[in-house]
Amino acid sequence: MDKISDLKTIVINTLDINKAEDIVTIDLKDKSSMADYMIIASGTSSRHIQSLSEQVLEKLKDSGVKNSKIEGKESNEWKLVDGIDLIVHIFHPEKRKFYELEKIWSELIPKEKVSI
């Protein structure tokens, strides 16, 4: 297994052990150059969302992703953990439903048409 797949497994296990809900993984390799995977999960409260983001950040750093960080620190409804090749969104369920990231990123993105 490669390092990114191992990190993905570590993050999913961390979210699961810490009671995150509705964990979804989206493969971005053929869709975007920003990351290889996006993981989306829900927390039950602002404290739970904060705790989940801190746990994920700690696991990423322990796994050698030293430049990882949390975005959205001032938000109570959403956090993004930037794991460089792995992006983790942790939402309050209502915000998650509003943004529909799974729908946006799970759909196939057509290749650009070349005009001559």
- From the CA atom positions of the chain, what is the Rg in Å? 15
> Which fold would CATH assign to domain 3-106?
Beta Polymerase; domain 2 (3.30.460)
pTM of the model: 0.85
- Who contacts 28 (Cβ-Cβ below 8 Å, separation ≥6)? 34, 35, 36, 37, 38, 87, 105
Q: Count CB neighbours of 116 within 10 A.
A: 2
> Do residues 80 and 88 touch, judged by C-beta distance below 8 A?
yes
Taking only the tens of pLDDT, the chain with its 116 residues reads 588 889 999 999 999 999 999 999 988 877 777 788 989 999 999 999 999 999 999 999 999 999 999 999 889 999 999 999 999 999 999 888 876 777 766 665 555 444 44
Q: In what order do the strands lie in the sheet with 37-42?
A: 21-27, 37-42, 86-91, 78-82, 69-71
